Amino acid sequence: MRGVGTADGAARRSADASTDPLGDPYLRTRFALPSRPATFLRRQRLVVHLNQALRTPLTLVNGSAGAGKTLLTADWAAGLRLPVAWLTVEAGDHRPGVFWAYVFESLRMCGARAADAAAAPADSSGVGRGLLTSLAAELNALDRPVVLVLDEYDRMTNPEVAEQLEFVLHHSGQGLHLVLVTRTEPLLPLHRYRAADELTEIRGAELSFTPQEAGALLRLHGLHLPEPATSALVDRTRGWAAGLRLSALAAREDTDPERYLKEFEADHSTVADFLLAEVLKGRTEETQDLLLRVSVLDRFCPDLADSLTLRTDAEPLLAGLHRENAFIERLGHSWYRLHPLFREILRAHLRERLPGAEAELHLRAARWLRRSGFLPETLAHGVAGGDFDLAAGALVDDLAIGQLFTGLRSDALTQLFAGMGSEAGSPASDLVRAAGALARRDLDHGLGRLRRAQEQLSGTEVSPGLVAARLSCTLLEALAARLTGCPPRAEQAAATAEELSQDLPDHLLDAHPELTALLLTHVGSARLWEGRFDDARAVLTRAAGAPGGSATVLPRVESMGHLALLDYLNGWLGRAERRALAAVSEADRAGLPRPPGAGLGRLVLAAVAVDRQELSRARALLDETARLPAREHDPVPTAGRALAVSRLLLDDGETHAAAEAAEPAVSVVVASPWAESHAAVVRSAACLADGRPDEAVRLLHGVCGDQPVCAVEAAGLQVAAGRPRAAAELLGAVRAEGRTGPAVSVGAALVRARMEQESGDTVTARRLVARALLDARRERLRRPFLQAGDWIEPLLATAPLRGLAEGWLLSGRPGAHGEPVRPGAEPAPLVPVELSGRERDVLRRLARMMSTEEIAADLFVSVNTVKTHLKSVYRKLAVNRRGDAVRRARDLDLL
């Protein structure tokens, strides 16, 4: 945070890399095979059936809660000689990014993925198809398959995840065996797998205990019942594993187990009744009260449990319950959780025994969790308890308000605070409301809530919480300044943030690197809008290199897009393209499906494509950005789109539409010199094309040498309008200062060449055109030549200049003057091409004209594997045919 307003502020150390897309450490217990208790019974018939999973890509273990699915699968998996990746699915995994991040980590932990394998998703709300394609190809290339077990998969209700899982399974070939342990039917095309004999199924009927198995289970619990009593128990419980186990636990405490089980069978109709009336029976009041109260928690430790009971006896009680296998699982480090079914029934009983207590228990938990630094759970319990002020205060005090924008928690936080009503009136609640409104680009509502929060904070006694709240205000102020085009307001926010950061502990700032990265991005965007290119580059470069891994990926991508636009505005097409490609690639590597920064990067790529006269590619890129989230009320991307669209329309001959599209449709406080200059140049060119030279010249009055690219283009229009003296004056005013690129030097050389040609000095004109061709060839900059007019054609027809133009500007066919290269030909890939070793192997054989079958035989892989690699190669090279792939690879020195 320190140095936000300067170019050389020190960056902070990176956050912990072993975190999920929400920024939280991975819960390692989710990757561990559940331990089998001493009373576990291995049923050989089911183990034999499960062994068939090694011959089919998909296995389904489907049964009701407590049917013994998890322990059966864990016991089988523990005996395999293949690598086993185990993942227990949780409710939060409905977000695709979270689910796949945990899958990637489970595969890494079992050794199926190398440490340097493709990155895992960074956005909780989604994952890009490219990342899944890379995973499938990686699994398909394994020397021996991996078994991936997804336990409690019934918690996964997102059809998008199911579709993605089917994609990975299908394209992983023989490298993946997927085992789903679930209570419900998964959203997968099971009928297709059945028809192809590629599905192993173990369902409820098969999971049910036989009388013989039930007798063996009861004996493990110390109960020796006659066969008729055991058969009767199996009949009543339908062989349900949890029912048998619950019955055994309760019955062994009775002096007459057989009589007890008969009474149970006669008096109770559901297992829930049994749990409430019999498993809890005999427990002390303190134990029963403890279990009822902790049922509101996903996990708990003794101190947290004590905060709910207002006693201090949780530690021995929980340890005793765990020793007795009383449906409490130990997670490690003194943390526990209830068996899900047991917890559900206890919560129902809590509402009956202690009506109205649930909300207060949530709030007690939230307060303890807040003191202990567990922010996500604090927010969840605060909202569940109905105290939005508490939840918002925790978010702001932790400096986590930036997570409303980064995409890592934005969807979850938006949903969490959606129910916040007018009763929540704290400054923190207003800040959360303001952040949500600004994220939606609702400026009026957002600014109003921000003003209200600031007014409340102005009269508050100084405290660490107040400093965090004011620092959160500066982030929102900087965003508001960026969105309203008010650079002075952004600078004030940066200066205030720098002062406030001195009063906060370093560890708090280090824990949330996204706050500084977002602030830098907003300030850099405002400076760019104002035309302070060097100052903007300084802070945007810091933001692009921000630490924090997935926590800062979105501001990094957005800053890279802004830097690409800066390079373009200075005339560096190649640099702009590389930065824009890097922004798009960074978003793809992180698995971001709809990153706004990548949208700006694509706009820059479209503008570069127009200058190279690759008009088809420019249209495709602009179409892609139209499908990204709307960035209205954001001046820089809006102006960038206006620049690219208007120039494309102008080159298409649609002069009226180009003039209309040139003006950015955004309301701002301070006008942007470069946005206005580019709009003026396009409108002037449109007037000149329509035969209105006087109007064209009038529109150029505001263009000056401070904007070199625009000044050079304006000079060319002045010459075309018959005003060479004005053109010369404009060129003389251009302030290059060593920071302008070939687009400026090429344009200036062509303007001077035209003036020399029209004055009769053909030799000087030819020399200037030669210099322009040399500079433009490196950048493939065609537009200035193709838009120059008829005067340049005789010069390009001369032998020396024709040689410089052939192959990239002229077609090279025989003729008097040659033909310009067709606009839109051979667009370059949209992302940097990084082929895997196996993809290169396939590509080399493709270049030797080998068929798919021949490549498969030569590489000792299946035809489907080759097809998967070919699809990946085509995608990375942005082609659709074999010949195009080989040509593009040679152009990029990949062959």
Q: Which amino acid is at 148?
A: L
Which residue ranges does the chain devote to CATH 3.40.50.300? 32-207
At the top level of CATH, the class of 837-891 is mainly alpha
Residue 34, Ramachandran bin (φ over 0: left; ψ between -120 and 50: alpha; else beta): beta
Q: What integer pLDDT is reported at residue 591 of this predicted model?
A: 66
**What DSSP string describes 1-61?**
-TTTTSS-PPPPPPPPSSB-TTSPBP-GGGGSPPPPPTT----HHHHHHHGGGGGSSEEEE
Query: Do residues 831 and 588 make contact, with C-beta atoms less than 8 angstroms apart?
Result: yes
Stretches where the chain sits below pLDDT 70 are 1-17, 115-119, 261-279, 325, 340-341, 407-408, 460-462, 464, 591-598, 627-632, 736-738, 811-833, 878-880
Neighbouring-strand partners of residue 762:
none
- Identify whether the C-beta of residue 523 lies closer than 8 Å to the C-beta of residue 4: yes
CB 605 within 8 A of CB 640: no
CA distance 705 to 737: 11
Sequence letter at residue 30: R
In the prediction, which pLDDT does 3 show?
A: 45
Q: Across the beta sheet with 176-182, what order do the strands follow?
A: 84-88, 146-151, 176-182, 58-62, 199-202
Q: Topology of domain 32-207, per CATH?
A: Rossmann fold (3.40.50)
Q: How far, CA to CA in Å, does 241 sit from each of 40, 115, 779?
A: 10, 40, 71
What is the distance of C-alpha 35 from the center of its chain?
34
How far is C-alpha 607 from the geometric centre of its chain's CA atoms?
Answer: 26
The b-or-e profile of 370-409 (16+ CB within 10 A means b, else e) is: beeebbbbbbbbbbbbbbbbbbbbbbbbbbbbbbbbbbbb
Nearest to 575 by CA among 781, 285, 754, 872: 781
How far apart are the C-alpha atoms of 326 and 197, rounded to whole Å?
A: 41
φ/ψ of residue 209, rounded to 5: -75, 140
Q: Can you tell me the distance from the alpha carbon of 657 to that of 763, in angstroms, rounded to the nearest whole number?
A: 39
Q: Cα–Cα distance between 700 and 715 in angstroms, integer? A: 9
Q: Which tokens in the block code for residue 444?
A: 């009026």
Cα–Cα nearest to 435, from 402, 406, 408? 402
Structure tokens given for 708: 């070199």
666/168 Cα distance (integer angstroms): 43
* CB-neighbour burial class of residue 222 (10 A; exposed 0-12, middle 13-18, buried 19+): exposed
CA-based nearest residue to 713, from 695, 698, 700, 724: 700
CA distances from 318 to 247, 323, 536, 723 (A): 21, 9, 57, 90
The pLDDT, as a whole number, for residue 416 is 93
User: Which residue is listed with tokens 């929060």?
Assistant: 453
Paired tokens of 143: 């020397």
**Alpha-carbon distances, residue 674 vs 54, 538, 709, 770, 844 (angstroms):** 63, 19, 9, 29, 47
Residue by residue, DSSP assigns 534-553 as HHHHHHHHHHHT-S-GGGGH
Find out whether 660 and 695 touch, Cβ atoms under 8 Å: no
Contacts of 337 (CB under 8 A, 6+ apart): 297, 298, 299, 300, 328, 329, 331, 343
Interacting residues of 241 by C-beta distance below 8 A, sequence separation 6+: 66, 67, 68, 207, 209
Amino acid at 286: E
What pLDDT score was predicted for residue 723? Answer: 93
Query: Residue 209 has what DSSP assignment?
Result: P
Strand partners, 88: 151
CB of 73 within 8 A of CB of 179?
yes
What is the maximum alpha-carbon separation in the chain?
120
Which residues, in sequence order, are bridge partners of residue 306? Answer: none
Amino acid at the residue 147: V
DSSP letters spanning 431-448: HHHHHHHHHTT-HHHHHH
pLDDT for 14-35, tens place per residue? 334 478 888 788 888 999 999 8
- SS3 call for 148: strand
Q: Write out the residue limits of the CATH 1.10.10.10 domain(s) in the chain.
A: 837-891
Closest by Cα among 28, 38, 30, 31 to 323 = 38
Rounded to whole angstroms, the Cα distance separating 141 from 835 reads 14
At residue 144, φ and ψ (nearest 5 deg) are -135, 145
Reference 454, options 425, 437, 430; nearest CA is 430
Amino acid at 497: A
Residue range(s) in the chain whose domain bears CATH number 1.25.40: 536-671
User: Cα–Cα distance between 773 and 809 in angstroms, integer?
Assistant: 9
Closest C-alpha to 577, from 561, 564, 589: 564
Residues 624, 580: Cα–Cα separation, whole Å: 14
Residues 100, 121: contact at Cβ < 8 Å? yes
Per residue, the 3-state secondary structure of 772-825, as one string, reads HHHHHHHHCCCHHHHCCCHHHHHHHCCHHHHHHHECCCECCCCCCCCCECCCCC
- Interatomic CA distance for residues 846 and 887, integer angstroms: 11
Nearest to 821 by CA among 770, 858, 783: 783
pLDDT tens, 198-215? 999 998 889 989 999 999
Pairing of the two strands 199-202 and 58-62: parallel
Report CA torsion sign: 588, 593, 597, 599: positive
Determine phi and psi for 837, rounding to 5 degrees.
Answer: -60, -40
Phi, psi of 177 (to 5 degrees): -115, 115
How far is residue 886 from each of residues 845, 846, 849, 880, 889, measured CA to CA in Å?
10, 7, 10, 11, 5
CA 524 to chain centroid: 22
pLDDT of residue 314: 96
Please name which of 468, 455, 460 lies closest in space to residue 395, comparing C-alpha atoms: 468
* Dihedral sign for Cα atoms in the order 58, 62, 66, 67: negative
Alpha helices per DSSP H over 69-200: 69-78, 96-109, 129-140, 159-171, 190-195
- Please compute, for residue 675, the number of CA atoms within 13 A of its CA located in the half-sphere on the CB side: 26
CA distance 229 to 232: 5
pLDDT at site 274: 55
Residue 208 phi/psi, 5-degree rounding, is -65, 140
Cβ 628 vs Cβ 592: under 8 Å: no
Give pLDDT, residue 7.
38
Residue 308: its pLDDT value, please? 97
Fold of 536-671: 1.25.40
